[in-house]
Amino acid sequence: MKSKYQKIKGTFDILPPETQLWQEIETIIHQTCQQFGFEEIRTPAVEFVNLFQENIGYETDVSKEMFGWQDQSGKQLALKPEMTAPVVRAYIESGFFRKHPLCRLYYIDSLFRREKPQKGRQRQFNQFGIEAFGSRNSEQDAEIILIANKLFKDLKINNTRLSINSIGSPEIRTKYEVVLKKYFNQNANKLSKVSKKRLEKNPIRILDSKEKEDQSIIKNAPLIKEFISKDDGVHFNEVLSHLKALGIQYNENPHLVRGLDYYNGTTFEITTNSQQSQNALCGGGRYDFLVEKMGGPKVPAVGFAAGIERMMLESKQQPTNKSIDVYISCNDIKHASKGFKIIKEITDNGYKIFFDTNKKNVKNQIKDAIKNKASSILIIDDKILIRNLNSKKENIVSESQILSLLKKQ
RNA sequence: GUGGAUGUAGCUCAGUUGGUUAGAGCCCCGGCUUGUGGAGCCGGCUGUCGUGGGUUCGAGUCCCAUCAUCCACCCCA
């Protein structure tokens, strides 16, 4: 219907029965994360804007796409566009690092980015993610990937592809970018139009190009692998051997990079093979220097974030059928107190009811009860009648008999 | 941010080269019938044709603007 008010662009309501699917998916996420000893963290929707600008990078798109404003006291605030920076902030601010040398957190939360909406890309969207602080060892990278892998399986998402790479430290990346830019500039005349445009702003993206004419140039481009330290190389090989041990298929992609400034070392991405343009379901990696950079102790970390809406587009998970145990008909107000007493008793005993407060006539209530998959209908009038809608048996009962009769059915 | 497409009932859609009171199916509500039971039959409700201008004797239909959605680029989860 035409409404006086409408929702903000890029936002959406989640209505039943879809909310049920969300609940089920969230339950799976909670269970799986907790199975691996991760604990949930919740952070505020709003943060000071510099938390993001200074840590995900001023020049990144995510930073530019923030919903930000100045509040009444002149503070610069923003709705959170990503979760890692807030989680790290909370981790440091709470002193958690003292209590838990190995600290494992997960979240399910709404994030906000002022992008142009399209399928799989909203302005308010939901991510879940995990962050493991305190271990620099390759086993931690592998555990994170294992959890992501298990979650995708548990959520009945098939046709995914894990790409993995090691990108070294931020300094090495800067060096690499200079070399790469030089290389592409030497071959600029052979590059596609799109890639020429990227040359200045984002040369690393050229490596991702799908244009045919770019392929041979990309093939011979210098790889970041050639620049990373020996330790990083050893670490990366360890991660790969853990994945082999786990039987997790991966695709080593020397061109894979991340869009946020804080990553280093292992990076990975899970994409779907279906033809969606927004095919990145999950992205993550190491960020060993972020905690210290944000004023905390020297603590290494690794984590990932996954887009829930995108996963739902891929998930074969179906909402389980909801059903009602007892449909309640109590149409005469003079029996209301008796009716409520009964309702209270059977709900206290765990039964799921539907009370037709609209007071349709009994005939239509029966139809309604069947349509809504009720097991039985309780008709409260001068007498109390309970009818099992599966066996079609009905009994006239006293108030005290109702529970024992329900239990028998 | 750039480009393209689309907006008619709660949903899915019809609506002829512009021509009277704008339609169907599903959903919802009610009645009849079938043993008060998922079917069948009958009836009922719902629309500023996204919004605002313009052209015209006349606009759901043509033009402009605007908003929203979808698709692609870009980027990302």
pLDDT reading at A185 higher than 90: no
pLDDT value, residue A192: 77
**Residues near A293 by beta carbon (within 8 Å), at least 6 away in sequence:** A55, A262
Q: Which nucleotide is nearest to A277 (CA to C1')?
A: B72
| Span CA (A397) to C1' (B36), Å | 19
CA distance A368 to A362: 10
Q: Which residue is nearest to nucleotide B31 (CA to C1')?
A: A364
pLDDT tier for residue A82 given thresholds of 50, 70 and 90 = very high
ipTM (interface pTM): 0.85
Covered bases, chain B (protein CB within 7 Å) = 1-3, 9-10, 28-31, 36-38, 46-48, 50-51, 67-77
pLDDT reading at A178 higher than 70: yes
Q: Which two tokens stand for residue A315?
A: 């998930």
Least confident of A81-95, A124-138, A224-238, A260-274: A260-274
Q: Which nucleotide is nearest to A390 (CA to C1')?
A: B37
Average pLDDT over residues A378-404: 90
**Closest among A211, A176, A175, A216 to A196, alpha carbons compared:** A211
β-pairing, A264-272 with A280-286? antiparallel
pLDDT tier for residue A204 given thresholds of 50, 70 and 90 = confident
pLDDT reading at A275 higher than 80: no
CA distance A253 to A225: 10
Average pLDDT over residues A214-224: 84
Least confident of A131-135, A201-205, A360-364: A201-205
CA distance A255 to A261: 16
Asked whether residue A286, judged by its CB, lies under 7 Å from any atom of the DNA or RNA strand B, the reply is: no
DSSP A239-286: HHHHHHHHT---EE-TT---SSTT-EEEEEEEEESSS-S--EEEEEEE
Average pLDDT over residues A203-225: 80
Asked whether residue A364, judged by its CB, lies under 7 Å from any atom of the DNA or RNA strand B, the reply is: yes
CB < 7 A to strand B: residues 80-109, chain A: 82
Q: Which residue is nearest to nucleotide B48 (CA to C1')?
A: A2
Least confident of A79-93, A112-126, A165-179: A165-179
Structural domains in chain A, CATH included, are: 18-169+247-314 (3.30.930.10), 170-227 (no CATH), 324-408 (3.40.50.800)
Asked whether residue A269, judged by its CB, lies under 7 Å from any atom of the DNA or RNA strand B, the reply is: yes
pLDDT value, residue A62: 84
Determine what percent of chain A is predicted with pLDDT higher than 90: 60
Average pLDDT over residues A281-296: 95
More confident residue, A92 or A119: A92
pLDDT value, residue A276: 65
CA distance A230 to A348: 64
Average pLDDT over residues A358-378: 90
